[in-house]
């Protein structure tokens, strides 16, 4: 169990942890997931940013559920139980569950209560392990006071796989009693709600979500097959329809499907999900992304995100994507606040930290931006998106040439053909070293072409010039063709913010369609 010191656990492969951690890299505006290689450069020295809870709720860290099972196929119950417990406990007023990327760092020997309390700023820890034997599952749940590392209670539940998830009601009710919350009839009903009564369908959905988070072409396409099988077993399973919508959206976003092929399919499935369950927050989040990234209907997208948040204010993704939308509308104060709310729910999410830094920079809060980036380096040092954010922050801050040169030197040590680092490198060397600039640009083009990436790559600004580039962007926007959703704030456009054509176009797209 979780301890004051390190404890040995049966862990799920560390690679899977990182795949989950980078699940929303698209939200940074890039197309590549972070590399797993150890960077040749040394990340900047870090300072720990203080985590603030805005609503005063009790914060509970739901640790990754470890599963002892005879086969990998049986370990899905851990992800399924985590999903069910998080949804149930979050129905309690006055309680916020911290889960997802932020807790994935505390697997195995890293399950240290003191570190969890300090890093995540939590009051309690919910620790759970499961053992699978045939169709039977034994689940041990422990609720810990993070302040003194004492277990407030521990319960053991035994049941069959088909019905084990029903324990979520007992666990949530017991937690409510421990923190002094009365559970009314309506809340009790919400806690006990199951997205499907078919255990096999839920298994397929859980496995599909795990594959979707990899953001690989094969993983996302396989997730669709699993969702479809789940729907065959339960054609009223709204979450599975929303899952297919997300898969088609991300396949298009990452260049594995054309926008014209992927997003219309995504829209149809998300509308099916909403028709089945008009109060499914996940469906409105999926719809909001389609309206944002494909339709450029920023106001409609904003409404979808706000509806999702009204239905379930405890989903970090909704706050993050709303923040990205508001940033595109150049409503930076609101974007900053929204992403900050997302960070309260998932304080170690690498892309949330990057997006927070981006909003802070636009408000000239450079120290906050740098603090978020440095915190990110401390948690996920191999996430390339931080280097792009760090370089851009120093450029907009007006840092000294020596400070900027140091960042570039560190970036060069990464030696990875990734948009997140080739953008800063080409920007830096364009006016400083023509030969090196040309070599980097050639490398970028070759990398993008080999991966079948964006049909309108940012590096085309070097071929078209700023006015030609803006003209092409305007044509794409007008004709409903691909335009990067983070277009306005790309590093290669920083030097052109006073260009009349740029300013006119940015004002146009910030209003949406």
- Of 81, 83, 94, which is closest to residue 124 (Cα–Cα)? 94
For strands 150-160 and 136-145, give the pairing.
Answer: antiparallel
- Band of the pLDDT at 465, cuts 50, 70, 90? very high
- Band of the pLDDT at 23, cuts 50, 70, 90? very low
Does the structure show a pLDDT above 50 at 311? yes
pLDDT of residue 298: 98
8 A C-beta contact, residue 32 and residue 26: no
Instruction: Give per-residue pLDDT as tens, 168-185.
Output: 999 999 999 999 999 999
Average pLDDT across the chain, whole number: 88
Does the structure show a pLDDT above 80 at 108? no
Instruction: Give per-residue pLDDT as tens, 479-489.
Output: 888 888 888 99
Q: Average of pLDDT values for 43-69?
A: 69
- Band of the pLDDT at 40, cuts 50, 70, 90? very low
pTM: 0.87
CA gap 148, 357 in Å, rounded: 34
For strands 66-68 and 136-145, give the pairing.
Answer: unpaired
Does the structure show a pLDDT above 90 at 224? yes
pLDDT of residue 453: 60
Instruction: Give per-residue pLDDT as tens, 121-168.
Output: 999 999 999 999 999 999 999 999 999 999 999 999 999 988 889 999
- Of 456, 425, 455, 454, which is closest to residue 441 (Cα–Cα)? 425
State how far the alpha carbon of 110 is from the alpha carbons of 9, 14, 473, in Å. 9, 12, 47
Delineate the domains of the chain, giving CATH numbers in brackets.
Answer: 48-194 (3.40.50.10070), 195-312 (1.25.40.10)
Does the structure show a pLDDT above 70 at 24? no
Q: Average of pLDDT values for 21-37?
A: 39
Comparing 107-116, 271-280, 299-308, the range with the smallest average pLDDT is 107-116
CA gap 22, 32 in Å, rounded: 10
Does the structure show a pLDDT above 50 at 27? no
pLDDT of residue 105: 83
pLDDT of residue 6: 34
Does the structure show a pLDDT above 60 at 51? no
Q: Average of pLDDT values for 21-28?
A: 41
8 A C-beta contact, residue 324 and residue 285: no
Does the structure show a pLDDT above 70 at 16? no
Contacts of 388 (CB under 8 A, 6+ apart): 28, 30, 354, 420, 421, 423, 424, 491
CA gap 287, 307 in Å, rounded: 11
Q: What is the DSSP string of 68-120?
A: E-SSGGGGHHHHHHHHHHHHHHTTSTTEEEE-THHHHTT-GGG-BHHHHHHHH
Does the structure show a pLDDT above 50 at 31? no
Contacts of 275 (CB under 8 A, 6+ apart): none
Percentage above 70 pLDDT, the chain: 88
pLDDT of residue 2: 58
Does the structure show a pLDDT above 70 at 198? yes
């Amino acid at each position: 169990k979780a301890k004051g010191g390190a404890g040995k656990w049966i862990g799920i492969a560390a690679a899977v942890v990182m795949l989950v951690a980078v699940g929303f890299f698209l939200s940074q505006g890039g197309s590549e997931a972070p590399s797993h290689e150890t960077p040749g450069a040394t990340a900047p020295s870090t300072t720990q940013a203080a985590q603030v809870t805005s609503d005063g709720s009790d914060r509970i860290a739901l640790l990754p559920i470890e599963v002892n099972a005879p086969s990998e196929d049986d370990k899905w119950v851990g992800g399924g139980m985590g999903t069910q417990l998080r949804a149930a406990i979050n129905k309690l007023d006055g309680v916020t569950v911290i889960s997802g990327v932020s807790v994935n760092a505390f697997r195995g020997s890293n399950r240290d209560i003191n570190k969890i309390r300090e890093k995540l700023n939590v009051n309690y820890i919910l620790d759970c392990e499961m053992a699978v034997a045939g169709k039977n599952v034994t689940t041990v749940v422990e609720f810990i006071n993070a302040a003194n590392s004492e277990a407030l209670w521990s319960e053991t539940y035994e049941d069959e796989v088909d019905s084990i998830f029903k324990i979520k009601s007992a666990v949530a009710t017991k937690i409510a009693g421990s923190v002094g919350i009365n559970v009314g009839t309506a809340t009790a009903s919400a806690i006990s709600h199951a997205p499907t009564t078919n255990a096999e369908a839920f298994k397929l959905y859980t496995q599909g979500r795990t594959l979707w988070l990899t953001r690989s072409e094969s993983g996302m396409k396989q997730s669709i097959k699993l969702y479809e099988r789940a729907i065959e077993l339960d054609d009223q399973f709204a979450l599975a329809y929303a899952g297919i919508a997300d898969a088609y959206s991300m396949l298009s976003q990452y260049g594995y499907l054309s926008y014209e092929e992927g997003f219309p399919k995504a829209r149809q499935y998300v509308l099916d999900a909403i028709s089945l369950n008009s109060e499914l927050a996940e469906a409105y989040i999926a719809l909001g992304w389609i309206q944002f990234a494909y339709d450029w209907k920023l106001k409609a997208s904003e409404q979808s995100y706000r509806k999702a948040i009204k239905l379930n204010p405890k989903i970090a993704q909704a706050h993050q994507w709303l923040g990205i939308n508001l940033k595109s509308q150049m409503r930076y104060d609101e974007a900053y606040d929204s992403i900050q709310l997302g960070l309260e729910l998932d304080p170690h999410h690498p892309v949330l930290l990057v997006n927070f830094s981006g909003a802070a920079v636009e408000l000239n809060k450079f120290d906050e931006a740098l603090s978020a980036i440095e915190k990110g380096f401390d948690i996920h040092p191999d996430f390339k998106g931080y280097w792009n954010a760090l370089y851009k922050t120093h450029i907009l801050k007006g840092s000294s040439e020596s400070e900027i040169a140091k960042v570039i030197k560190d970036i060069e040590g990464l030696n990875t053909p990734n948009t997140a680092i080739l953008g800063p490198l080409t920007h830096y060397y364009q006016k400083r070293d023509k030969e090196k600039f040309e070599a980097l640009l050639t490398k970028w083009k070759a990398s993008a072409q080999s991966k079948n990436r964006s049909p309108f790559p940012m590096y085309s600004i070097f071929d078209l010039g700023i006015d030609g580039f803006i003209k092409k962007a305007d044509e794409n926007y007008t004709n409903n063709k691909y335009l990067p959703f983070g277009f306005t704030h790309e590093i290669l456009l920083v030097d052109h913010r006073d260009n009349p054509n740029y300013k006119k176009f940015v004002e146009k797209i910030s209003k949406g369609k």
